[in-house]
Structure 1
Amino acid sequence: MAAREPGGWPVGRLLSAASRRVERDWNGHLAAWDLNHASQPVLVILLRGPSTQAELAALCEITEQTMSRVLARLERSGYVTRTAHATDRRKQVIAATDAGRTAVLAASDPEAAEAMVTDGLTAEQVEQLKALLLVVARKSTPTP
């Protein structure tokens, strides 16, 4: 039987629960611009310049099918345009609109993101959390 109180949870479950909470809070923040955790990084990438759907999917480490849904939402919001590729009729070039650039720059405030995660922690606890998360994030999976 799993412990009901988080203090009794295994580390993996705690990390997963914390990650989901941060994602919910971040999505709540991004919703003011009709963005979410999937669409915001796409617009950040497009700030560098136009790209294809396949390139965006690879950079975001998601499938092209998933990227298609993300781009459809961004297009409905007026944040991206799709135009025919100059030399390959099978491809489209995706570009951020002025509205998309404005929205992602406003929504991507790193101080707001940091505050969501670290609210209630001391400066020392924030540094400890960063150090521990770096260890976990850098952990490599052994190859069989």
Structure 2
Amino acid sequence: MDEESRLDPASPDPAHWPVGRLLSSAARRVERDWNAHLAAWDLNHASQAVLAHLLRAPMSQRELAAASGVTEQTMSRVLARMERSGYVTRTPHDDDRRRHVITITDAGRSTFFVASDRELAETMVTRGLTPEETEQLRRLLAVVAGEPQPDDSPAAQG
């Protein structure tokens, strides 16, 4: 039996799922586990990413939405919660009073570093893998997560 005939997206056994379903399911599991961890600081994966962006420099809501890959409306809700938690401040832009500049607070900065324990995050994702398998997974995911190259499109391949 060839690989293609063994794939069954309806199978209860993940070993038979197509790669897309496997990746999606794994991402949801990791996100649930990580959100449960971050909840101790009133954060989630979306707000943690905002703090990471703001560590580099203050940004507008529009810039944060674009950097996070979400709508401005979604970013507005994320920022409102983070502002209530004391992790960010919104101040009017110097040149355009309709815009706001979002800045990370000292509390946001320290919380980000405490909540973003790299070892814990790695363990959540790679439990059951050897160090060699973890490194292989990292390399493969970097390829999958990267921007597609012009000649990577299905049309270009065939």
**Structure showing greater relative contact order (alpha-carbon pairs closer than 8 Å, 6 or more residues apart):** 1
Partner of residue 74 from structure 1, selected from 82, 104, 116: 82
Distance in 2 separating the partners of 1:134 and 1:81: 33
1:100 matched to 2:111? The reply is no
Per-residue displacement from partner, 1:24-75 (whole Å, max 9, x unpaired)? 1111111111100100011111122322111111211221111101101101
In the aligned structure 2, how far is the partner of 1:33 from the partner of 1:14?
A: 30
> Which of 34, 43, 57 is the aligned partner of 2:51?
43
> Computing the radius of gyration over CA atoms, which structure comes out larger, 1 or 2?
2
Q: Which runs of 5+ in 1 are unaligned?
A: none
The residue aligned with 1:17 is: 25
TM-score between both structures, scaled by the size of structure 2: 0.83
TM-score normalised to structure 1 length: 0.90
Match of 2:4 in 1: none
From 13, 25, 48, the equivalent of 1:5 is: 13
In the alignment, which residue of structure 2 is the partner of 1:142? 153
When the two chains are superposed, the root-mean-square deviation of aligned CA atoms in Å is 1.8
Aligned pair count reads 144
Residues 1:131 and 2:139 aligned together: yes
Mark the CA change 1:5 to 1:54 in structure 2 (over 3 Å): closer, same or farther.
same
Q: 1:21 to 1:97 in 2, by over 3 A?
A: same
Residue ranges of structure 2 left out of the alignment (5+ in a row): 1-7
